[in-house]
Amino acid sequence: MAGHNNKPVNQQESSMKQTQYVAREPDAQGFIHYTAEEHAVWNTLITRQLEVLEGRACQEYLDGIDKLGLPHDRIPQLGEINKVLGETTGWQVARVPALIPFQTFFELLASKQFPVATFIRTREELDYLQEPDIFHEIFGHCPLLTNPWFAEFTHTYGKLGLQASKEERVYLARLYWMTIEFGLVETPQGRRIYGGGILSSPKETVYCLSDEPEHQAFDPLEAMRTPYRIDILQPVYFVLPELKRLFDLAHEDIMGMVKRGRELGLHAPKFPPKAA
């Protein structure tokens, strides 16, 4: 199964669905209380995933993990994350419910706030969760938000999404999926992972770097035209030449690419249709 993703392209349809998870409200001091079992789930997830990521995650992500200093024995408080993000790139995390509308998602990114749902999956759903939980958001995405290149692209993406039409947003969402969620990058040490959807999923972490899926050199227009499904291992991954490519892309005419993508249309899917 695929990773645990903040899926902007599916937020609108997802918001129609019910979720068993309820985001935790902070107390009067802004502290969120979790149960011992929830802290234990966090410990299982982070311990296991850090082992799997050895030799597979890009250095910029690992540097971010060091900067955040994530605890292993408990779920971190959002204030701890905000302190580090604020000092490194000026970003913050924002507490949200399990699923948020497209518009809210773009508004948050445009104001340098990354949405974090304050619940954690149950032990029954350790390996795959359709909703984005606190482990996916904090462990998968926040380390790279300490990186100025990644942070710049995410901020630009939010601003563009805010101005885009509903039809344009679908193309933008595919670009997000193929980069921020499921992106790979070439490094002097070999091919590595930077996408948060992979980084928080043990199965996809191993699979994405194997010979099984297709790897394509990153081309933003191609990424926008490539269909995907959220509930399967990805059949194709786009590989950046270096992480700084995201920063450069933030200063290119992304909306012009969206216009071209809409003219050219979508590629044929590399996966079977979802069973009804």
Copy the structure tokens of residue 199: 């980084």
pLDDT score of 131: 84
Q: What is the CA angle 157-75-12, rounded to 5?
A: 35
Q: Which whole number is the average pLDDT over 149-161?
A: 98
Q: Of the residues 4, 60, 107, 136, which is catalytic?
A: 136
Give catalytic status of residue 181 as yes or no: yes
127 confidence band (pLDDT: 50, 70, 90): confident
Q: How far is CA 173 from CA 80, 159, 224, 238, in A?
A: 29, 13, 8, 15
203 confidence band (pLDDT: 50, 70, 90): very high
Give the residue among 57, 164, 152, 177 at the shortest CA–CA distance from 107: 164
Q: Kindly give the interhelix angle for 166-176 and 254-264, rounded to the nearest 10 degrees.
A: 100
Percent of the chain with pLDDT over 70: 93
Q: Which whole number is the average pLDDT over 76-88?
A: 98
Residue 96 backbone dihedrals phi, psi, to 5 degrees: -135, 165
208 confidence band (pLDDT: 50, 70, 90): very high
Say which CATH class 8-17+35-264 falls into.
Answer: mainly alpha
Q: Of the residues 60, 137, 152, 181, which is catalytic?
A: 181
pLDDT score of 10: 39
123 burial (CB, 10 Å; 0-12 / 13-18 / 19+) is exposed
pLDDT of 213 strictly over 70? yes
pLDDT score of 17: 53
Q: Of the residues 107, 131, 141, 222, which is catalytic?
A: 141
Give catalytic status of residue 141 as yes or no: yes
Tell me, yes or no, if the pTM score tops 0.85. yes
Give catalytic status of residue 136 as yes or no: yes
Q: Of the residues 14, 137, 186, 200, which is catalytic?
A: 200
Q: Which whole number is the average pLDDT over 6-16?
A: 39
In this structure, the strands spanning 236-240 and 92-96 are: unpaired
Copy the structure tokens of residue 209: 């770097």
Lowest-pLDDT choice from 93-107, 167-181, 192-206, 251-265: 93-107
Residue 252: how many CB atoms within 10 A of its CB? 11
Handedness of CA 219, 228, 195, 147 (dihedral sign): positive
Q: Which whole number is the average pLDDT over 153-176?
A: 98
Give catalytic status of residue 111 as yes or no: no
Mean model confidence pLDDT for the chain: 92
Handedness of CA 206, 171, 5, 147 (dihedral sign): positive
pLDDT of 119 strictly over 60? yes
Residue 139: how many CB atoms within 10 A of its CB? 24
Q: Which whole number is the average pLDDT over 135-139?
A: 97
